[in-house]
Amino acid sequence: MTQMSAVDDNSEVVLYAVSEGIATLTMNRPRYHNAQNSKMTYALDAAFRRAVDDDAVKVIVLRGAGKNFSAGHDIGTPERDAHESFERQHLWYDHVGKPGAEQQLVREQEVYLGMCRRWRDIPKPTIAMVQGACIAGGLMLAWVCDLIIASDDAYFQDPVLQMGIPGVEYFAHAFELHPRIAKEFLFLGEKMRADRAQQMGMVNRVVAREALETETMSVARKLGAQPRMALALAKQSINHVEDLRGKRTAMDAAFGWHHFAHAHNSLLTGNNLGGLDAKAMAAANKKNG
Ligand code: ZN
């Protein structure tokens, strides 16, 4: 039986439900292709926390409501909240009101890099169920999950180079893809279709759109039948291999360049995204195929 959270309704940016030991977290801003504002990021964090704390939950599925998984970070909806304070989860101070490049560095350390690392280390198996667009900040959410199951209409893309930025904050590109493919992916900023993403090893399974939920839940049920502790240890062991390969330090270095780029943009244009808003990015994307 599905137990929906008491606070769940369509105004919630993240829906939470548990059924058969599987917690499903649904990003719920379909009108904005599930663009992530801070409200959503903190709601996701709270939902992950809830799923971790609940002994009845064996597996966590992350999905997006509507046609798309996630179009990335919110860079232009009416509910953009990058300048608001939230109850923080890491020991960084509040970003609001800080001068120069400090504000954005502190904010992104908390809501992007910090949160993604936190979610990647969740001691229960996580599955990203991806349909439609999985762009930039959306990629970060899929990448922190252990498995990615995509529908055949899904595509993956990091187009932020057009903004003068060398890739999204959680810089896992060269761990998700062979470095040569990662370069192509970043340099050209093109869409990578689900079938190619699977060939490249970034996606575990690709199924027809109408079979996506059934397939994801079937894998989740199989995971849920495995011993909890062994899954946690296997996950930690593989994450440790990635860390020994330099994932964390590579990401720290890239995060520094990422913020150099934001600051450079601000010096040149007065805007940390180089003056490109969601509309301009969408228009550039159309050209890009
Ligand atoms: Zn950034």
| pLDDT digits 0-9 by tens, 56-65 | 999 999 999 9
Whole-number average pLDDT of the chain: 93
pLDDT in tens, 82-96: 889 999 888 899 999
Q: Quote the pTM value.
A: 0.93
Share of the chain above pLDDT 90, in %: 84
Instruction: Give the pLDDT band (50/70/90) at residue 287.
Output: low
Percent of the chain with pLDDT over 70: 95
Angle among Cα 266, 271, 275 to the nearest 5 degrees reads 130
Question: pLDDT tens across 237-266, in order?
Answer: 999 999 999 999 999 999 999 999 999 999
Q: Supply the pLDDT for residue 76.
A: 87
Provide the pLDDT for residue 278: 75
Residue 285 has pLDDT above 90, yes or no: no
Cβ count near 11 (within 10 Å): 7
CA of 242 to the centre of ligand 1 (A): 23
Compute, in angstroms, the gap from residue 258 CA to the centroid of ligand 1. 6
CA 100 to ligand 1 centroid distance, Å: 14
Dist. CA 280 → ligand 1 center (Å): 17
For residue 209, how far is its CA from the centre of ligand 1 (angstroms)?
Answer: 31
Residue 7 CA to ligand 1 center (angstroms) comes to 31
Question: In the predicted model, is pLDDT for residue 166 greater than 50?
Answer: yes
Distance 76 CA to ligand 1 centre (A): 14
pLDDT in tens, 188-228: 999 999 999 999 999 999 999 999 999 999 999 999 999 99
Distance in Å, CA 173 to ligand 1 centroid: 15
- Find the 275 Cα to ligand 1 centroid distance in Å: 14
Give the model's confidence band at 9: pLDDT under 50 very low, under 70 low, under 90 confident, else very high. Answer: very low
C-alpha of residue 10 to centroid of ligand 1, in Å: 29
Q: Using a CB cutoff of 5 Å, list residues around ligand 1, an ion.
A: 108
How many whole angstroms from 200 Cα to the centroid of ligand 1?
26
- Identify the CATH number of the domain in which residue 154 sits: 3.90.226.10
**What is the Cβ-side half-sphere exposure of residue 122, based on CA atoms within 13 angstroms?**
30
CA proximity to 135, closest of 278, 287, 233, 275: 278
| Structural domain that includes position 34 | 2-287
Rounded to the nearest whole angstrom, what is the distance from the C-alpha of residue 259 to the centroid of ligand 1? Answer: 7
Burial of residue 5 (CB within 10 Å: 0-12, 13-18, 19+) is: middle
| pLDDT band of 11, cuts 50, 70, 90 | confident
Facing residues of 61 across strands? 24, 127
CA separation for the pair 219, 226 (Å, rounded): 11
CA 222 to centroid of ligand 1, rounded, Å: 37
**pLDDT surpassing 70 at residue 176:** yes
Question: Cα–Cα distance between 91 and 94 in angstroms, integer?
Answer: 9
Is pLDDT above 80 for 17? yes
> Given pLDDT bands bounded at 50, 70 and 90, which one contains residue 288?
low
Query: Ligand 1: distance of its center to the CA of 214 in Å?
Result: 35
- Total number of domains constituting the chain: 1
Look at residue 275 and tell me whether its pLDDT is greater than 90: no
